[in-house]
Amino acid sequence: MRIYEYLNVFKRIDYLLLIPVIILIFWGVINIYSASINEYPSLYLKQLIIGSIGIFLMLVISSVDYKKIVNTAPYIYVAVVVLLFLVLIAGDVILGAKRWIKVGGFAVQPSEFSKIAVILLSAFYLSDKRYPISIFDAVVVFVIALIPSILTLIQPDLGTAITILIPAIFIVFLFGINKKYILLVFVISFLLSPLIWKNLKDYQKERIIAFLNPENDPLGSAYHIIQSKIAIGSGELTGKGFLEGTQSKLYFLPEQHTDFIFATIGEEWGFLASILIVTVYLFISLRILTWGNRVKESSGKVICFGVASLLLFQAFVNISMTLGMAPVVGITLPFLSYGGSSLLTFSILIGIVLSVISTFKKEKVHF
Amino acid sequence: MNEKKIRFITILFLFLTAVIVFRLLYFQVIERDRYLSYIKRQYFSKERIILPRGIIYDRNKKILSISINTLKLYAIPKYIPHEKRVLLADYLSKIIKVSKYKLIRKLNSKRGYVVLAENIDRNLKDRLNELRTELKVWNFGIIETSKRYYPYKSLAGTTIGFVRKDTGKGASAIEYMLNKKLGGGFIEVPFLKDAKGNPLNFEINVKDKIKNNLNAVLTIDSNIQFIAEETLKKLVKLRKPKEAAILLIDPFTGDIIAAATYPNYDPNRYWKYRNHRNIIFHNAYEIGSLAKPFILAEAIDEGYLRNLRKVYCEKGKIIIDGVRIKDHKKFKYLSPEEVIIKSSNIGTIKIALNLDYSSIYKKLKELGFGKSTRTFPGEASGILKEDLRPVNVAYASIGQSWTATILQVAVAYSAIANGGFLVKPRIVKEFIDSEGKVVEKIRIKLKKKVLSEKSVKWLRETLKRVVEEGTAKSGRSDYFSIAGKTGTAQKYDPKIRALSTEKFYTWFAGYFPADNPRLTVVIFVNEPQKIKKWEFIGGGTVSAPVLKELVDRIMYYYKQKPDKNLAKN
Q: What is the ipTM of this complex?
A: 0.86
Residues 6+ away with beta carbon under 8 Å from B173: B158, B159, B160, B161, B162, B276, B278, B376, B377
Residues in chain B: 569
Cα A331 vs. chain centroid, distance in angstroms? 8
Amino acid at B508: F
* Residue B347, pLDDT score: 93
Q: Where are the domains of chain B?
A: 47-218, 222-272+284-557
Residues 6+ away with beta carbon under 8 Å from B508: B472, B475, B484, B485, B486, B487, B521, B522, B523, B539, B543, B544, B547
**Residue B109 vs residues B77, B195, B499: alpha-carbon distances, Å:** 7, 24, 62
B170 pairs with which residues across the strands? B163
Q: Read out DSSP for B380-403?
A: ---------SHHHHHHHHTT-S-E
Amino acid at A117: A
- pTM of the shown model: 0.62
Strands (E) in chain A, as ranges, are 92-94, 97-103, 106-108
B501: number of CA atoms within 13 Å, CB side?
5
Reference B492, options B432, B416, B403; nearest CA is B403
* Residue B407, pLDDT score: 96
Separation of alpha carbons B348 and B400, rounded Å: 13
Separation of alpha carbons A127 and A297, rounded Å: 7
Give me the sign of the Cα torsion angle A288, A290, A293, A296: negative
Reference A282, options A257, A313, A258; nearest CA is A313
Helix (H) or strand (E) holding B44: strand B43-50
Separation of alpha carbons B473 and B469, rounded Å: 5
* Residue A248, pLDDT score: 60
Residues of chain B contacting residue A130, judged by C-beta atoms under 8 Å apart: none
* Residue B286, pLDDT score: 93
Domain B222-272+284-557 sits in CATH 3.40.710.10: yes
Residues of chain B contacting residue A174, judged by C-beta atoms under 8 Å apart: 2, 5-6, 9
* Residue B345, pLDDT score: 93
Residues of chain B contacting residue A320, judged by C-beta atoms under 8 Å apart: 19-20, 23
Amino acid at B281: F
Backbone angles phi, psi at B272, to 5 degrees: -85, -10
Q: Read out DSSP for B45-70?
A: EEEEEEPP---EE-TTS-EEEEEEEE
Reference A264, options A57, A45, A85, A31; nearest CA is A31
Flag residues of chain B having pLDDT under 70.
1, 39-46, 112, 190-211, 566-569
For the beta carbon of residue B210, count every other beta carbon within 10 angstroms: 15
CA angle at B78 for the pair B73 and B80, rounded to the nearest 5°: 65
Q: Are B253 and B379 in contact (CB under 8 A)?
A: no
Is residue A282 less than 8 Å (CB to CB) from chain B?
A: yes
Residues of chain B contacting residue A133, judged by C-beta atoms under 8 Å apart: none
The SS3 call for residue B39 is: helix
Distance from the A27 Cα atom to the nearest Cα atom in chain B, whole angstroms: 19
CATH classification code of B47-218: 3.90.1310.10
* Residue B446, pLDDT score: 73
Q: Same fold for the domain at B47-218 and the one at B222-272+284-557? A: no
* Residue B6, pLDDT score: 86
Residues of chain A contacting residue B10, judged by C-beta atoms under 8 Å apart: 286, 289
A 1-60 residues with CB < 8 A to B: none
Helix (H) or strand (E) holding A199: helix A179-199
* Residue B249, pLDDT score: 96
Separation of alpha carbons A260 and A337, rounded Å: 8
CB pair distance less than 8 Å for A223 and B35: no
CB pair distance less than 8 Å for A282 and B28: no
Which residue pairs, CB below 8 angstroms and at least 24 apart, start in B365-372?
Answer: B366/B422, B366/B448, B366/B450, B367/B294, B367/B411, B367/B412, B367/B415, B367/B422, B367/B450, B367/B451, B368/B408, B368/B411, B368/B412, B368/B422, B369/B402, B369/B404, B369/B408, B369/B412, B370/B402, B370/B404, B372/B405
Q: Where are the domains of chain A?
A: 3-362
Please state whether beta strands B215-218 and B56-57 pair in parallel, antiparallel, or not at all (unpaired): parallel
The SS3 call for residue A25 is: helix
Inter-chain CB pairs, A–B, below 8 Å: 114
A94 pairs with which residues across the strands? A97
* Residue B569, pLDDT score: 47
Separation of alpha carbons B557 and B224, rounded Å: 8
The string over A207-226, giving b where at least 16 C-beta atoms fall within 10 Å of a residue's C-beta and e elsewhere, is: bbbbbeebeeeeeebbbbbb
Helix (H) or strand (E) holding A74: helix A73-90
| pLDDT tens for chain A, residues 1 to 367 | 566 766 777 888 899 999 999 999 999 999 888 887 766 778 889 999 999 999 999 999 998 999 999 999 999 999 999 989 888 887 666 666 667 777 666 778 889 999 999 999 999 999 888 778 888 888 899 899 999 998 988 877 888 888 999 899 889 888 877 777 777 877 887 777 777 777 777 777 776 766 665 555 554 556 677 777 777 877 777 777 777 776 665 555 666 677 888 888 888 888 888 999 999 999 999 999 999 989 988 899 999 999 999 999 999 999 998 888 877 777 899 999 998 899 999 999 999 999 999 999 888 765 5
Amino acid at A168: A
Torsion of CA B248, B252, B254, B255, to 10 degrees: -60
